[in-house]
Structures are given as C-alpha cells and as structure tokens.
Chains A and B, each alone.
Chain A
C-alpha cells in the first residue's frame, strides 16, 4: 500500500520569505510517480509537477523548486520569495503503475498562508 505524509498542517510566512513544504512517501514499488498540486480557495486543483522515481534531478521552475531524495523517501517543495498569491493548500501525491488504475494517493495537505 502507498502512503504520503505531509507533517506540516499549516505554515504561515511573511511575503518574500522562502518556505519549504515537506512530503514523505512510502511504497514498495520501484517505479512510481510523485506529484505536487496547489488548491487555492476556489477549490480547483492546479497541477505543479510530476516526477518519476528514476529521475532524481532536482527541478526549478521560476520561484518553485523541488528536491527529490530517494534515500529519505522525500519530495520537498520550496517556494522562494513567497507571495500572497501563493496562499493555498498544497498536496503531495503518489501513483504507482502497478496499481490497476494508477490511482493517486494524496497526502493530507499543507495550508500555506503568506502574509503581506
């Protein structure tokens, strides 16, 4: 069975601060995919990134960066120079191809509040 843990329930930062959201996953599969989604107050999930288990390169996209460490089963997400518009709930998720439907297993989410 798959499991995703986001230990940080809520984080509050002041604008322009950097913030890292933690994600720890569990799976016995050697092939898997990790995702991050953003859910603003409107409720619609916004896809941020997908990473497969064979690609441990860190990725940077603008102010966003992701650190994938298989040794610690972590896939952490950093927002640099945070902005008020970054305020949202962020979900980490895991999918394994061996599952019959490649279902997504979601973490419990981290509520990020960026204060002006």
Chain B
C-alpha cells in the first residue's frame, strides 16, 4: 500500500514552453502533497506544500507564478513549470501524506526528470 506515482517519468521540452507533472496517490487519500526539486549531486529542496482544496504554500525563493501547483483532489496534485528555461532542468519529486495512522507517513513518487533545451 501507500503508492505514489508521477507522470511523466521524464520529459524534454523547449525553452519557453510549459510542462505539467502529475503526482497521484494510488491507494490512499493524500491530504497534503509536497513538491521537491533536486539538482545533480544535491539534496532534495522543498519547493511547496499543498493541501487539498487550498492554495499551495511556497518556500522562500520559489516563484509561485512560475511553478503552479494544483491540488484539486485527494489523490492528485499537479506541478506546472511555466515558460521553462534550461535552469529549470532538474529532478522533480513529489510526496504525499494522508491523515493518520500509517498514512501519516510521507510517501515519495519516483520522480520526474525535466530537461529544458
């Protein structure tokens, strides 16, 4: 149980275009989802936290107009990188957390590798 999927697993896009990444909790209801970014040989950096039905809370230094997060249902959150540039190339990882019990843990998706050319 407690499986989180991400789609796509990798994507290549041209500079200036937008890319949407989906994060789904497959077998539990995720009241909170987190989005992380990881550059090569670096740690995971939290970008934003989203609660279902609410606006996301962004970490300092993360542009909310560039990284649009939508958490419209208890099983789906999306991250849209708008007007992507090469410096946005990174590994994006989502995690999901339920309400209580075992689902209060944070479960990670497999990540999405974004390359902007």
Q: Identify whether the interface residues of B are mostly helix, strand, loop, or mixed.
A: strand
Please tell me which one of the listed residues B44, B49, B91, B109 contacts residue A101 in the complex, with CB atoms under 8 A apart. Answer: B49
A-B contact count (CB 8 A): 45
User: Mostly helix, strand, loop or mixed at chain A's interface?
Assistant: loop
The closest CB in chain A to the CB of B112 belongs to: A43
Q: Is B113 an interface residue (CB 8 A)?
A: yes
One digit per residue, 1 when the CB lies within 8 angstroms of any chain A CB and 0 when it does not, for chain B 72-105 equals: 0000000000000000000101010100000011
From B42, B104, B106, name the one whose CB has the most chain A CB atoms within 10 angstroms: B106
Decide if A44 is an interface residue (CB 8 Å cutoff).
yes
Interface string of A35-53 (1 = CB under 8 A from B): 0010000111101001000
Binary interface profile of A, 91-115, with partner B (CB < 8 Å = 1, else 0)? 1000100000111101111010000
Are A45 and B108 also in contact (CB < 8 A) when A91-B43, A91-B44, A108-B42 are? yes
Q: State the Cβ distance, B109 to closest chain A Cβ, in Å.
A: 8
Inter-chain contact B43/A109, CB cutoff 8 Å: yes
Q: Which residues of A contact B (CB under 8 A)?
A: 37, 42-45, 47, 50, 91, 95, 101-104, 106-109, 111
A-B contacts, 12 of them at CB < 8 A, read A37-B108, A43-B93, A43-B113, A44-B109, A44-B111, A91-B43, A95-B106, A101-B49, A102-B97, A104-B95, A108-B43, A109-B43
| Nearest 3 pairs of A and B residues by beta carbon | A45-B108, A44-B110, A43-B111
